[in-house]
Amino acid sequence: MKKFEELGLSQELLTIIREAGFETPSEIQEKTIPLAIAGKDIIGAAATGSGKTLAFASSMIENLRPDKTTQALILTPTRELAEQVASSISYFSRNRKLKVLSVYGGVSIETQIRKIPGADIIVGTPGRILDHLERRTLRLNKIKFLVLDEVDRMFDMGFLRDVEKILSQCSKERQTMLFSATVSADMGHLARRHTRDAVEVSVKSYIDHSKLKQVYYDVDNDEKFSLLVHLLEKENGNLVMVFCGTRHKVDFVAKNLEKQGINAQAIHGGLTQNKRTSVLGDFQGQGVGVLVCTDVAARGLDIKEVSHVYNYDLPPTSTEYIHRIGRTARAGREGKVINLLSNRDYDNFNNILRDEHLHIAQEPKPEFKKIYVEMTRSFGDRGRGFGGGRGQPRRSSGGNRPQRRFGGGARESGRRFDNDESPRNRHDHGPRTGPRKERTNRFSSRTNSQQGRKRSNFNSRSRRGNW
């Protein structure tokens, strides 16, 4: 492995890297930094936490000088990632005195308008950047460096058209770098249109699968919350992340965990930016042990020392599942992923298991105390019930399981924006006063025979041996 001194970096930047405690470059840094400094366009495949911020920022820091003109633009899918990237670049570029500004929705646009003219590097989300372009408060005709970070996540969130509009206004004489955990067809199309002789760089997964244990419990939906509480109390966890499919579910789980004496907080796109920043600070400072979140927290945030990841709702694809579990078993540490599976998750779980690299073992359902929780109308319930996280429809005399909602419960998480920066919300220039109102039609129709076939298909997968 090379040392930072062998990558062509200046002594000024090397001094800061040493002060930060970095001794050797990560794989993505070792492969990317020489190419970036040489001015090459780059297509990089690297997971969150692999060190790619320094990889792409190095060429900016080495080549830019303050001139109160926007010279570099970095697009990120979420506010938190924009803040994190801007903070990192500010730290590494402090000897060059470059002005770095983060630009995203949910906060005052007027403040951003005042600060943009003095910024050398802007890190922002597509929705708010497009707002500024339409207002003509930001010009990109002198851009020398353009970076798209977490490209696949931006596409998942519906930003492809916005990104294309932004790129069309950037200077043609620029260095372009695209980074993503996976290289999709959309990313390939974008690269062909907007890069020149780009060099592809890929690195192995940052997750140590030898230290990652993945299990699932098959439970009734109204047992999920009770089992979650039992496992949180039983497992020897350090920092724990619990992923849910919707904002309302996050609030429900976090609120009821607190009632059980478990130190938990919620984070999702319906919170103000100050609240989200405060929650993340408490979690990373270990003032809070359990972070209940939507997928907004699965990507881009460099949260260290997460010991357990719980999937209260299963995501609809293996790609999203991998992004979630990538929060643990990092940098040589052990980690555990626990999936709480009910009938609403079977479709999504079958989709996840199509990835033959994933090995998820079934655990027998333990004995645990049923917890009686207060259900809200947003979950379709009219009173109290056991902790499934949604109100339970009345069961038939034949004992059928509750019918699925929206074709598979967590599937909604793949279609619902969890960021106030999403295309449908990008003109909201202030924080939301509350979460969106849930749909009133909570459950889709499904016959008893269809339920039986789904259960049969689910059980048949156990023959493959990778459960």
What average pLDDT does range 379-400 have in this prediction?
42
pTM recorded for the entire structure: 0.69
Confidence of residue 46 (pLDDT cuts 50, 70, 90): confident
pLDDT: which is higher, 445 or 219? 219
Burial of 3 (0-12, 13-18, 19+ CB in 10 A): exposed
pLDDT digits (tens, 9 = 90+) for 180-189: 877 777 888 8
CA distances from 210 to 207, 221, 335, 337, 359 (A): 9, 31, 10, 13, 11
Of the candidates 312, 291, 299, 317, the residue with the CA atom closest to the CA atom of residue 245: 312
Half-sphere exposure for 63 (CA within 13 Å, toward CB): 18
> pLDDT digit string (tens) for 307-325?
999 999 999 988 889 888 8
Q: What's the whole-number average pLDDT of the chain?
A: 81
Contact between 308 and 283 under an 8 Å Cβ cutoff? The reply is no
Task: Provide mean pLDDT across the span 349-365.
Answer: 93
Question: Can you give the pLDDT at residue 378?
Answer: 45
Q: What pLDDT does residue 375 have?
A: 65
**What is the band of 213 on the pLDDT scale with cuts at 50, 70, 90?**
very high
Question: In this structure, are strands 175-180 and 199-202 parallel, antiparallel, or unpaired?
Answer: unpaired
Radius of gyration of the chain from Cα atoms?
23
Q: Quick: pLDDT tens for 91-109.
A: 999 999 999 999 999 899 9
On the question of pLDDT at 452 being above 50, the answer is no
Check residue 249 and give its pLDDT: 95
Q: How many other C-beta atoms are found inside a 10 Å radius of the C-beta of residue 197?
A: 6
> Which structural domains are found in the chain, ordered by start?
4-202 (3.40.50.300), 209-464 (3.40.50.300)
- pLDDT number for residue 450: 47
Out of 111-115, 181-185, 202-206, 296-300, the most confident range is 111-115
Please give the order of strands across the beta sheet that includes 100-103: 100-103, 121-124, 72-75, 145-148, 175-180, 42-45, 199-202
